[in-house]
Amino acid sequence: MSRKEVYKGIVLRKTKYKEADLILQILLSQGTKMSFLARGALRSKKRFGGGILEPTHYIQMTVSVPSAQERMGVIEEAHLIAGFDWLRLDYDKLETALWMLETVNKISVEGETESADLFNILGNSFRGLQHGSQMLSSRIQFGLKVLHSQGVLEVESWMKDYLSVSLIEQSHLPAPDTQTLARFHWIESQLSQYAQQGSV
């Protein structure tokens, strides 16, 4: 008889598998990225109804822990904790949230437990997006916070205003100026380099 565990996490990505199954990459609340199989997810309205398994959703799930012969755990049922539904009412906010998911998915390594801060950064960034209005500044703040949490950021003077503002209070971020876009491209480059180092 398989052992069952209860996990909480944010859905980073979903991929169709076979006819009605999904493979989900999820950042667990303790900061570990793991992949799970949701059998019949595209058919079952009872276990996975209402779009529970969508990226950005914070969910609680009951999982059958994999045996030595199995590659990943199987999600038996899932419940929505926070849907961040307002993200889907604003294209720019949703696009920013999806960029954040993609960034976390790229830099985190499956099964590693050294990224405990990533979950809090991601969840609080989603909360901050609700009242934020400058999405480029929000991306800069998110990228800096991620790099800083991973210990790979050499802090410069211009970064301090972004790092000192709470992720939940993105409306207090510095107003965009002529250097904002260039800074964002620099951060994207740093995140890309860090992700490549982690995959080696």
Instruction: Point out the domain boundary residue: 64, 82, 100.
Output: 82
What is the C-alpha to C-alpha distance for residues 198 and 141, in angstroms, rounded to an integer? Answer: 22
The answer to whether residues 72 and 123 belong to one domain is no
Q: Quote the pLDDT of residue 100.
A: 97
The answer to whether residues 30 and 76 belong to one domain is yes
What is the C-alpha to C-alpha distance for residues 73 and 145, in angstroms, rounded to an integer? Answer: 31
Instruction: Point out the domain boundary residue: 82, 116, 132.
Output: 82
Instruction: Point out the domain boundary residue: 56, 82, 108.
Output: 82
pTM: predicted TM-score of the whole model, two decimal places = 0.91
Axis-axis angle for helices 91-107, 180-199 (nearest 10): 30
The answer to whether residues 94 and 175 belong to one domain is yes
The answer to whether residues 44 and 127 belong to one domain is no
What is the C-alpha to C-alpha distance for residues 90 and 110, in angstroms, rounded to an integer? Answer: 31
Q: Quote the pLDDT of residue 18.
A: 85
Which residue segment(s) compose the domain that 171 sits in? Answer: 85-199
What is the C-alpha to C-alpha distance for residues 167 and 171, in angstroms, rounded to an integer? Answer: 9
How many domains, the chain? 2
The answer to whether residues 106 and 150 belong to one domain is yes
Q: Quote the pLDDT of residue 164.
A: 96
Tens-digit pLDDT string for the chain (200 aa): 568 999 999 999 999 988 889 999 999 999 999 999 998 888 877 677 778 999 999 999 999 987 766 678 999 999 999 999 999 999 999 999 999 999 999 998 887 766 778 999 999 999 999 888 999 999 999 999 999 999 999 999 999 999 999 999 998 999 899 999 999 999 999 999 999 886 54
Q: Quote the pLDDT of residue 198.
A: 64
The answer to whether residues 111 and 137 belong to one domain is yes
